[in-house]
Amino acid sequence: MRVLLQRIREGWVETDTGRTERAGLGLLALAGFHRDDTADVLEPMARKLIELRVFDDGQGKMNLPLAAVGGHLMVVPQFTLYADCRRGRRPDFFQALAPGPAAELFGRFVAACRALTSPVTAGTFGAAMRVHLINDGPVTLLLDSRDLG
């Protein structure tokens, strides 16, 4: 599993059927699943991103986690995190988990995040989405479940 994590000032997700709740200060987590991923990666990844100290403390040092700033978490499915662009001009998505199992893991990942923090909003799996955000910092980090210990 990969998560592209961005610290945001605000954000929301639009689809043709509506829009998520507007988030204030917090994190946007673009989440993608590898074809070999299982549910075992969900809770450790949720805990990692929620406890990651990426918000500034009183001295301007990134030292505070999401809860310490009363932050919001937006989770958006993003299978393109497993794109392979090494050959040709068109990305290959062979490493990405198939849509059915990925949708299930995404739903379970959102639930794991909600069990650890609040508020959490989520994009719609399989929908064409327009993600709106104001990146803060900017701070953008790539987390990979293979690197969690």
In the set 6, 20, 55, 78, the catalytic residue is: 78
Tokens of 57: 């403390």
Tokens of 79: 């299978």
Tell which residue, 84, 56, 76, has the closest CA to residue 11. 76
In the set 55, 79, 106, 125, the catalytic residue is: 79
Whether 124 is catalytic: no
3-class DSSP state for residue 106? helix
DSSP β-bridge partners for residue 142: 4
Q: Do the beta carbons of residue 97 and residue 37 sit within 8 Å? A: yes
Angle between helices 42-51 and 99-116 (to 10 degrees): 50
Whether 80 is catalytic: yes
Burial class (CB in 10 A: 0-12, 13-18, 19+), 100: exposed
Whether 20 is catalytic: no
Active site residues: 78-80
